[in-house]
Amino acid sequence: ACAFQDKIIAELNPSSSAVFVKSMIIYIIASALTVTVCPQFGIGPIGGGAGILGFVMKYGHFACGAFCGAFFLSGSALLTAIFMNRAQKRVVEKHYFGFFVPVALLLLTALIIISNIVNGSNPHLHPEFISAWILSGVLFSIAFFRVVSRLEAR
């Protein structure tokens, strides 16, 4: 009975690291799907070109970074919210910025490294692009996560 009780307690109180690892797995899968339709730092899309958000590029680095970050990160956050149970969502909700900022920085680093390996260079390494990408990505991720959590709580 004690082992069963411990399992229930663990399920109701997941560790931050376990939740982070689960979310990173979801983010990696969702990110791979995202770059098939919208390029990120020179990676993707299928068939080349600017993908579905190509129209934004003409508005400059800040606008492009904001749209790309929001699209890339918030779609993954939406899937993370869908595939997490209520206890796991509570862990994220306690530390929104402490959760989504490290995710954004890890994925940004991965995209830059992959782009350098694949392309030999890295487009969009402008401070305004990167800051807009992180800021919009984190803010939209929090918003999408909150919306899904609130809808499921009803």
Q: Measuring CA to CA, how many Å separate 73 from each of 30, 99, 140?
A: 9, 12, 8
- Taking only the tens of pLDDT, the chain with its 154 residues reads 688 888 888 888 999 999 999 999 999 999 989 888 888 887 888 767 777 777 788 888 899 899 999 999 998 999 999 999 999 999 999 999 999 999 999 999 999 898 888 888 777 788 999 999 999 999 999 999 999 988 987 7
**How far is C-alpha 146 from the geometric centre of its chain's CA atoms?**
14
In whole angstroms, give the CA distance from residue 131 to residue 129.
6
In whole angstroms, give the CA distance from residue 75 to residue 81.
10
pTM recorded for the entire structure: 0.87
Q: How many CB atoms lie within 10 A of CB 141?
A: 29
